Amino acid sequence: MKRQAKSTIRTSAGSKIFDVCNVLILTLLSLVCIYPVWYVLAASLSESSLLMQHTGPLLKPVGFSFSAYKAVLKNPMILSGYLNTLKILILGLATNIVMTSLGAYFLSRKGVLWKKPIMILITITMFISGGMIPFYQTLQDFHLTDTHWGLILPFMISTYNMIILRTSFESIPESLCEAARIDGAGHWKILFSVILPLSKAMLAVMVLYYGVGIWNGWFWGSTILSDRSMYPLQVVLREILMANDTSSMTAGVAAGDVEAVGATIRYATIIVATLPILFVYPFLQKYFTKGVMVGAVKE
Amino acid sequence: MLRLRDIRKDKEKSMKTKERESFWIQVKKDWKRNRSLYLMVLPVILFYILFHYKPMYGALIAFQDYNPRLGFSGSEWVGFDQFNRFFTSPYFGRLVKNTLLLSVYGILFGFPAPIILALLLNELRAKRFKKTVQTITYLPHFISLVVVTGIIKDFTQSTGLINDIIVMFGGERSSLIQNPALYRTIYIVSDIWQGIGWGSIIYLSALSGVDQQLYEAASIDGAGRWKQLIHVTLPGIAPTIVIMLIMRMGQLLGTGYEKTILLYNEATYETADVIASYIYRVGILERNWSYSTAIGLFNSVINLALLIVTNKISKRVSETSLW
Amino acid sequence: MIKRNNKIKKGALLMAAVVAAAGIATGCGNKDNGGAAPESQTTAQADASGKTETAAPDTAFSYPVAEGGTLSYWVELNANAAANYTSLNDTEFGKKLQENTGITIEFQHPAVGQVAEQFNLLLSNRTLPDIIEYSWMTYAGGPQKAIEDGVVLPLNDVIDSYCPNLKAYLAENPQVDKMIKTDDGTYYCFPFIRGGEKLKTSTGLMLRGDWLEELGMEVPTTMDEWHDVLTAFKEEKGAAAPFTYWYGSQGLTDNNPFAYAYGAPRNFYIGDDGSVHYGAVEDGYREYLQTMNRWMSEGLIDVDLATLTNDQVSAKITNGTAGASFGWCGSSLGTWTGAGRTTEEDFTLVPAPYPSVEKGTKPEFGQKDNDFVNMGCAVITTSCENVELAARLLDYAYGEEGHMLFNFGIEGVSYTMESGEPIYTDLILKNPDLSITHAMSGYIRANYNGPFVQDEAYADQYYTLDEQKEALAVWSDTNADKHIIPPVTPTVDESKEQAQIMNEINTYRDEMTLKFILGNKSFDEWDDYVETIKGMNLDRVLEIQNAALERYQER
């Protein structure tokens, strides 16, 4: 089906002015938003002593040096960090999407007696939690400490994400599900052939949300893993940061005198940690284009 | 009179037994119809029981004087002592006020911002430009708070960029970040700066789900872009907006400590100090597990209540609600 | 219809309640390690005293331990070591320690930067490692409570029987002896001791020596001289913010040298009358604030002082915006000199003594640690089965051989003896691949902390710049010893009360301090300020502190 090009609809002068303004505003916003990223990149490539003396905005590296990257990348755990995170990502995302979809599907159906109480009980968990120690003891009880599964299973579902996915599932017209049911489809079939294909955009958001969560997560990794070779990337990077950074919040309160080896390392760490994320989003963007879905299905 | 009342009572009684019967019949019917659905969701329910409800007894630490060595069953129970400690602090009012105000302003200004961005992006025709802007605007979300607050401080100090601009317009230099009246503005504007791109993602996704045919129908009816926005686009993403708003209301008392600690200073305590940062300072003086758990519980309960109220309101005003 | 819905709702809620209760019940009935503790505590104490009572102190003992054995040892892996090693076992130091003592050590390291959280998790386990190294004074309720809770083994008999080295050291240093006991005289740890005056001071004032030379001025020693120097920096060297420092650092501002000059640190100290005072409500503090206020209005102090990050302070000193600062010997003086010299050859930072009001008087206050610092204390836990072995291991550090290992490393590799003095080799001081601290961390522990006595000779060599060596001498030349509060231990309830009150007082004090300095509050309101603090129950805290001090004196 040919999409009727919008340009054949008459564009008024007001419309044109709006377009120009829109582009201007968005360009301005982009410049403002790219500044912190640019700053970090430039700082990471700067020379340590010169960076220290620098005040004010940073538009290009002061001096030029790869020493910060050398210091970060020479750590042998970087490679294992990336691999571990990759493993957790693949296994984690799979379980996340499956479990969240099951839950969201259930919660989006009508005429289910126990749906409301279950929804309430689930929502409560977003607010009341037992805290760190009981959670840790639970992991110990299930023998999940010192394993990568310990970073996956207890975090299989984010209630927040599930609610968002549920909202999306709910907006799929009832008529489509009805049609499928008349054709004899059970719930599994409806989920897989009607709901999921129409939810590609929201599933892409789920992949992004969960993926970024796993990528950035370091706290539980550093808490439950005692074998350093199992550390995910962020834990490794955080250790490098602590070993080389004097301006952390607690530096003044604790031992006091710590050798400073340059803030450039802090910036290089951020780049090493964030670079892959840069490439993920363009990948997922194709799911956000208009009109891919409902129109296609109606055929 | 008596007889009528008797008759009414009898009727009620039989209705009740009918209801009891019909309740259990309901359950059976529901089970028959939705059995596969319940089986489908079983792993999800198990997940919540095992990883959320099983450790939930820990929340009761708030009513104890918790000692990790003695554990949960060995620690002393102190009732509401921990809560009273917090409520009787002379700063209690100020802390709650600051926490709430930051959240409320955050909602007023910070909540619509990503939506507006998503709508603006949606209007773009040049695909590559749109993709580029999307990618760029979502990047600041990944830059650590330490760096971002460092940049903010740099800009807002008396020697900073913003003061340079002020001087250009004939004003005087002053340390903006030391001014309590400006703190909230700085906090929220920087929140928007860092979060607008990331926050717009979900709305972009919702936008792509709006039925194209509705747009075509609207334009045939003579609606221009603005009217299409009001009558097609916004209603199309309304459920997403409402749910996001409800959940945001459920975070009202949650203003975190990390950004606050990095951005505030003693001169701005009166508007900057929030519950979380105050507790953080207590934690440095004394490691009291129960105290921070109690405050956390207090926050959670208030947040939950707000969520329930917002949900109820939303049910009446729109068709969307959490439950 | 409505009635039926209500029934359903009720049933649903009932269901929900049951499920929730079931969840909570399973959680409660769950194995919870707390139950065991009270019993194990009493039996452990009985065992410990039982074991040691039958063992006679033997003088025929020598290292390595004949039968050997393995011990589990939980300790933070210092950031400098973590940069290059994944465990102390991998360091030359760790290997040599085990070789010399004949004991195998299983080191367990919490993730860097996570020590406090991991410590709490550790405590909730039923069995503990044999040895735990931690800052035990921060244990909720103090070390006394740690013993009562059945975590830490009391060491009096253990030290008597198995620790001749530590015993001898304590006998020679009675002031240290007091510091490492609890109020009722129980030893609980193998401490980290700063073995010399120069080791107890690490922060102080510093300023541009090259500027002073140019201007023909001397290093200032009084507040008036500081005023003149800072004015000269501003007017003749064009420094926009002559004096600046990292105000946001608790550790630094607690030791603010200008407050010290007026005899009023912002926290607690011991006055000339021997009791505990709170400086922030005393007249000296007001004078300090007035001076700061005056200097700030004259442009001698950085206007943005309260908002600076450490990076920004570094920038200002190294690029000439500021000419004087207050910081650490290594990470401030050392680092800044290194960075500044890359652009200005003559860049020099010279240390200045803590200022006094009158010329020629020795400064009454200055930054100084106690001999016993609250870090790196090793305890033997109640889970340890071979107490003698653990004691022998820990005692090793306090003997001659152990002292050299912990402070200087391996002879011939990391140090050599020259005219009877241990001198670090080039491997440490001039390593092409590693900075000095990173190189040191492979061989010694003196550059951070641990259960041993730190040797002054380490500091003499670690600080390579002449200005740094001078700084230690200049900054430690004060009467601070008379005024620092020794490691006192309030009771559990007292420390809770104290923390609550102090958090409020400190918040108020800090807000008002800045208002006074910036001129947002007039000094006419000084009395109100003092009244408000007193009204927040300051006297109760002074009571608590004085009581703890008394108990300390009587140990």
pLDDT tens column, C173-200: 998 998 999 988 899 999 999 988 889 9
| Residue A179, min C-alpha distance to chain B (Å) | 17
Does pLDDT of A258 surpass 70?
no
Q: Model-level pTM?
A: 0.85
Chain A interface includes C118 (CB < 8 A):
yes
Distance CA C266, CA C284 (A): 10
Contact across the interface for B26 and C495, Cβ inside 8 Å: no
Q: Which of C40, C124, C304 to mutate to test the interface with B (most CBs of B within 10 A)?
A: C304
Residues linked to residue B65 through DSSP beta bridges, in sequence order: B76
CB pairs under 8 A between A and B: 254
Q: B190-226 burial string, b = 16+ CB within 10 Å, else e?
A: bbbbbbbbbbbbbbbbbbbbbbbebbeebbeeebebe
> Cβ of A258 and C79 within 8 Å?
yes
Return the pLDDT at B1: 57
- For residues C82 and C199, the model is more confident at C199
pLDDT at C52: 39
CA distance from start to end of chain A: 9
Say which residues have a Cβ less than 8 Å from residue A10's Cβ, sequence separation at least 6.
none
Confidence of residue A297 (pLDDT cuts 50, 70, 90): very low
Question: What are chain B's partners, defined as 3 or more CB pairs within 8 angstroms?
Answer: A, C
Lowest mean pLDDT segment, chosen from A8-22, C121-135, C478-492: A8-22
Of all residues in chain C, the one with the smallest CA distance to A141 is C31
Based on the domain organization, do A154 and A277 belong to the same domain? yes
- Confidence band of A293 (pLDDT split at 50, 70, 90): very low
- Residue A175 identity (one-letter amino acid): S
Confidence of residue B321 (pLDDT cuts 50, 70, 90): confident
Inform me whether the pLDDT recorded for A118 exceeds 90: yes
Would you call C121 and A55 a contact, using CB atoms and an 8 Å cutoff?
no
CB–CB of A252 and C343 under 8 A? no
Task: Give the model's pLDDT for residue C227.
Answer: 96
For chain B, say whether A218 makes contact (Cβ under 8 Å).
Answer: no
- Chain A nearest-CA distance from C108, in A, is 8
Q: How many CB atoms lie within 10 A of CB C54?
A: 8
> Is the confidence at residue B136, as pLDDT, over 80?
yes
A262 pLDDT band, cuts 50/70/90, is low
Q: Do A54 and A131 lie in a common domain?
A: no
| Most confident by average pLDDT, B80-84, B86-90, B159-163, C216-220 | C216-220
- Residue A183's domain is classified under what CATH number? 1.10.3720.10
For A246, the domain range is 70-298
How high is the pLDDT of residue C58?
A: 53
Residues of A in contact with B69 (CB under 8 A): none
Burial class (CB in 10 A: 0-12, 13-18, 19+), A1: exposed
Distance from CA of C254 to the nearest CA of B (A): 14
Query: Could you tell me the CA-to-CA distances from C301 to B49, B190, C243, C257, C325 in Å, in that order?
Result: 59, 28, 5, 14, 10
**Chain pair B-C, CB pairs under 8 angstroms:** 150
- Comparing CB atoms, the residue among B37, B56, B213 nearest residue A109 is B37
Residue A35 domain flag: yes
Say if the Cβ atoms of A257 and C328 lie within 8 Å.
yes
Which tokens is A181 given? 């049911």
CA angle centred on C269, ends C268 and C271, rounded to 5°: 135
Share of chain C above pLDDT 70, in %: 89
Phi–psi pair at C84, nearest 5 degrees: -125, -10
Q: Are residues A58 and A133 in the same domain?
A: no
Same domain, A151 and A239: yes
Nearest-CA neighbor of C380 among C398, C392, C397?
Answer: C392
**Looking at beta carbons, which residues of chain B come within 8 Å of C304?**
157-159, 175, 177-178
Say how far apart CA B63 and CA B290 lie, in whole Å: 7
Query: Cβ–Cβ of C19/B67 closer than 8 Å?
Result: no
For the ranges A287-291, C44-48, C165-169, C313-317, which has the lowest average pLDDT? C44-48
Q: What are phi and psi of B161, to 5 degrees?
A: -55, -45
What are the residues whose beta carbons fall under 8 Å from the beta carbon of B6, sequence distance 6 or more? none
A181 and A38 within one domain: no
A14 and A75 fall within a common domain: no
Domains of chain B: 2-77 (no CATH), 91-317 (1.10.3720.10)
A9 within 8 A of B219, measured Cβ to Cβ: yes
Nearest chain B residue to C39, by CA: B70
Residues B313-321 have a mean pLDDT of 87
Do residues C261 and C356 make contact, with C-beta atoms less than 8 angstroms apart?
yes
Q: Give yes or no for a cis peptide into B90 (omega within 30° of 0).
A: no
Domain boundary among A15, A35, A65: A65
CB contact under 8 A, C12 and A130: no
Query: Which distant-in-sequence residues (6+ apart) come within 8 Å of B176 by Cβ?
Result: B156, B157, B158, B160, B162, B163, B182, B186
Which partners does chain C have (≥3 C-beta pairs < 8 Å)?
Answer: A, B
Please check the confidence at residue C350 and state whether its pLDDT lies above 80: yes
Whether chain B has a CB inside 8 Å of the CB on A66: the answer is: no
Residue ending a domain, choose from A65, A98, A113: A65
Question: Quick one: pLDDT band at residue A256, thresholds 50, 70, 90?
Answer: very low
Letter for the amino acid at B41?
Answer: V
Are A175 and A218 in the same domain?
Answer: yes
Residues A61 and A74 both lie in one domain: no
Q: Classify residue A1: in a domain, yes or no.
A: no
Residue with tokens 């992949």: A207
Mean pLDDT of chain A: 83
C5 in contact with chain A, both atoms CB, cutoff 8 A: no
The two structure tokens encoding residue A295: 């129109």
Residue C100 Cα distances to C70, C166, C168, C393, C405, angstroms: 14, 18, 21, 10, 10
Pairing of strands B64-65, C70-74: unpaired
Average model confidence (pLDDT) across chain C = 86
Nearest residue on chain B to C532, alpha-carbon basis: B90
* B224 pLDDT tier (thresholds 50, 70, 90): confident
- Give the rounded percent of residues in chain C with a pLDDT score beyond 90: 64
The candidate with the shortest Cα–Cα distance to B200, out of B128, B126, B134, is B134
Q: Which of A65, A81, A101 is the last residue of a domain?
A: A65
d(Cα A120, Cα A112) in Å, to the nearest integer? 14
What distance in Å separates the CA atoms of residue C27 and residue C31, rounded to the nearest whole number?
A: 8
> Given a cut of 90, is residue B2 above it in pLDDT?
no
* Closest residue by Cα to residue C264 from C153, C172, C192, C357: C357
* Cβ–Cβ below 8 Å for B72 and C32: yes
Looking at per-residue pLDDT, the higher value among A255 and B189 belongs to: B189
**Residue A244 within any structural domain of the chain:** yes
A282 belongs to a structural domain: yes
Number of independent structural domains in chain A: 2
Q: Does A101 map to a domain?
A: yes
Could you give the ipTM of this predicted complex?
A: 0.85
Report C:425-454 residues touching A (Cβ under 8 A).
435-438, 448-449
- Neighbouring CB atoms inside 10 A of A287's CB total 20
What pLDDT does A11 receive? Answer: 65
- Asked whether residue C273 carries a pLDDT value surpassing 80, the answer given is yes
- Phi/psi for C131 (5° steps) reads -125, 135
The one-letter code for the residue type at A53 is Q
Disruptive mutation site among C33, C117, C120, C449 for chain A (greatest number of A CBs within 10 Å): C117
Residue A43 domain flag: yes
> Based on the domain organization, do A74 and A54 belong to the same domain?
no
* Residue A84 resides in a domain: yes
* Interchain CB distance below 8 Å, B285 and C502: yes
Which of A112, C548, C107 minimizes the C-alpha distance to B37?
A112
- Stretch B298-323: mean pLDDT, rounded? 90
B205 in reach of chain A (CB within 8 A): yes
All structural domains of chain C: 40-197+372-454 (3.40.190.10), 202-367+472-485 (3.40.190.10)
Q: A97 with A203, same domain?
A: yes
Interchain contact, C329 vs A247, CB within 8 Å: no
Verify that A187 and A218 share a domain, yes or no.
yes
Tokens of B260: 């606050």
C248 contacts B265? CB cut-off 8 A:
yes
C92–chain B nearest CA distance, Å: 35
Give the containing element (helix H, strand E) for C474.
helix C466-476
CB contact under 8 A, C31 and A251: no
Residues A61 and A119 in one domain: no
Q: Which of residues 326-345 of C touch A (CB under 8 A)?
A: 328-331, 334-336, 338-340, 342-343
